C-alpha cells in the first residue's frame, strides 16, 4: 500500500455496510393473553455504539461559492474566483484544500445517497471513548478548519438541505483578529459574533489553535517552523513545555469564554498535521518525546491526517478532502480508508 504525506490511501472499493437493528418476528397467536411490558428498542435508523465499528471523519478547509453583493465580498467568499463556485472540481494552484460549493454539494449528496448521516462532536466523543450512545447506522463526522468566512457562506443551507451538521475547529487568533479589525483576519475570518450567529442545528465548535499555534511562528528555526512541534535552540525542556501548554490552555479558555456551551472541549484538530510524530517536522529533543503524550492528557480526541496514528494514545484519523476530487475519487479514498480500518474504534 502507498501512503502520501497527507495520509490518503486508496484501497478496496466499497466499505462494508454497517449493520442496523432488525425487529424480531412476532410469534403466532395462541389465543392466550401473554401481555408483557414492551421492551425499549432503538429506533430503526440507529444502533448502539458496540454495533458501529467505524466512523469516517472528513475535513474541509475553504469553500468557494458565496452570493457576493460587493467586490470585496466576492474576493473574500470566492477568492477572486480562482475556482468557479459551480466548478466540478477546484484545481486552485498552491491551494489543494479548497473546494467549490457545487463540488461540496455533490459530495454531500453522494454521502446522503449512501445512507450516511452526520454525528455531532458529542456523539463521536462518546463513541470513541466507549460510552453507550445511539448513532446512525452509517455515521460520519463532518469537520472544517480555521473559521474562514467562505467556509460558512452558503454551506449552512447545504447542511440544512441534507440534514447534516458540522464541527468547525476554531483558531482564537483568527477570530480575535477579525473581531478587532486586524489584518489579514478582518473580512477573511469570522468574528466571534459571526460564529455565534451560525445556527446551532448545523454548527458546533472545537479547538484548533490559540493565539499563536496556527502560525508559521519560527520561519528561521532549523528543522521546523511550526509553533507546537518546535523547541527553539534557546529553550530548555521546561521552557518549551510551558510555552506550548500555556498557549493551548489559554486558547481553550478563550474559545470557551466566547462560544459558551457550543464549544466542545473534548477535541483538538492539530494544525499542520504535526504533533511531532514520526515523519513530521520537529526541532529539538523534547517535542517528539513530550507533545503527543502531553496532548493525550488534555484531549480525549486528537485529530491528525496520519492514518497509521489512528488509535495511538488519543489520536484519530481525518481524511482531508481535496479540491481536485470528483465524486468517484472521493468514494475511492473514503472506501479505501474505511476498508483499511483507518476510521475504526479501538
Mean pLDDT for the stretch of residues 207-231: 93
Q: What is the pLDDT of residue 42?
A: 44
pLDDT category of residue 100 using cuts at 50, 70 and 90:
confident
Residue appearing with cell numbers 449512501: 114
CA dihedral 296, 298, 301, 305 (to 10 degrees): -60
Between CA 277 and CA 259 the distance in angstroms is 31
Between CA 30 and CA 25 the distance in angstroms is 15
The secondary structure of residue 235, as a DSSP letter, is -
pLDDT category of residue 174 using cuts at 50, 70 and 90:
very high
Between CA 197 and CA 147 the distance in angstroms is 13
Q: What is the pLDDT of residue 63?
A: 87
Residue with the bigger pLDDT between 80 and 133: it is 133
pLDDT exceeds cutoff 80 at 79: no
pLDDT exceeds cutoff 90 at 18: no
Residue appearing with cell numbers 468574528: 191
**CATH numbers and ranges of domains, the chain:** 46-339 (3.20.20.370)
Q: What is the pLDDT of residue 88?
A: 78
Per-residue pLDDT reduced to its tens digit, 19-65: 232 333 333 333 333 333 444 444 455 555 557 899 999 999 888 87
> What does the mean pLDDT of the chain come to?
84
Q: What is the pLDDT of residue 19?
A: 29
Q: What is the pLDDT of residue 78?
A: 61
Mean pLDDT for the stretch of residues 224-251: 96
Per-residue pLDDT reduced to its tens digit, 293-332: 999 999 999 999 999 999 999 999 999 999 999 999 999 9
Between CA 338 and CA 268 the distance in angstroms is 22
- DSSP structure string for 32-88: S----PPPP---TTEEEGGG--B--EEEE-EEE----SSHHHHHHHHGGGTS-TT-S
Between CA 328 and CA 103 the distance in angstroms is 12
Amino acid at each position: 500500500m502507498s501512503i502520501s504525506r497527507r495520509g490518503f490511501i486508496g484501497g478496496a472499493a466499497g466499505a462494508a455496510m454497517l449493520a442496523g437493528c432488525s425487529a424480531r418476528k412476532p410469534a403466532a397467536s395462541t389465543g392466550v393473553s401473554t401481555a408483557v411490558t414492551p421492551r425499549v428498542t432503538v429506533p430503526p435508523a440507529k444502533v448502539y455504539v458496540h454495533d458501529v465499528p467505524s466512523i469516517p471523519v472528513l475535513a474541509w478547509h475553504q469553500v468557494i461559492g458565496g452570493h457576493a453583493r460587493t467586490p470585496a465580498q466576492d474576493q473574500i467568499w470566492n477568492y477572486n474566483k480562482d475556482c468557479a463556485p459551480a466548478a466540478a472540481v477546484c484545481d486552485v494552484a498552491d491551494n489543494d484544500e479548497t473546494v467549490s460549493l457545487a463540488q461540496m454539494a455533490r459530495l454531500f449528496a453522494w454521502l446522503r445517497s449512501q445512507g450516511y448521516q452526520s454525528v455531532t462532536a458529542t456523539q463521536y466523543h462518546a463513541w470513541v471513548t466507549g460510552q453507550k450512545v445511539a448513532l446512525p447506522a452509517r455515521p460520519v463526522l463532518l469537520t472544517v478548519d480555521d473559521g474562514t468566512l467562505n467556509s460558512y457562506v452558503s454551506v449552512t443551507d447545504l447542511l440544512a438541505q441534507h440534514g447534516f451538521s458540522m464541527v468547525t475547529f476554531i483558531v482564537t487568533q483568527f477570530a480575535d483578529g477579525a473581531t478587532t479589525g486586524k489584518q489579514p483576519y478582518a473580512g477573511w475570518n469570522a468574528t466571534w459574533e459571526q460564529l455565534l450567529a451560525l445556527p446551532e442545528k448545523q454548527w458546533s465548535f472545537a479547538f484548533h489553535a490559540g493565539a499563536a499555534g496556527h502560525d508559521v511562528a519560527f520561519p528561521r528555526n532549523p528543522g521546523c517552523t511550526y509553533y507546537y512541534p518546535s523547541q527553539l535552540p534557546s529553550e530548555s525542556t521546561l521552557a518549551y513545555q510551558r510555552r506550548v501548554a500555556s498557549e493551548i490552555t489559554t486558547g481553550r479558555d478563550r474559545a470557551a469564554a466566547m462560544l459558551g456551551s457550543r464549544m466542545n472541549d473534548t477535541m483538538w484538530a492539530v494544525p499542520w498535521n504535526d504533533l511531532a510524530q514520526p515523519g513530521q517536522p520537529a526541532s529539538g529533543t523534547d517535542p517528539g518525546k513530550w507533545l503527543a503524550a502531553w496532548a493525550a492528557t488534555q484531549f480525549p480526541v486528537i485529530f491528525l491526517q496520519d492514518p497509521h496514528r489512528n488509535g495511538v494514545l488519543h489520536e484519530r484519523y481525518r481524511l482531508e478532502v481535496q479540491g481536485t476530487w470528483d465524486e468517484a475519487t472521493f468514494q475511492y479514498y473514503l472506501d479505501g480508508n474505511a476498508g483499511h480500518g483507518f476510521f475504526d474504534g479501538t
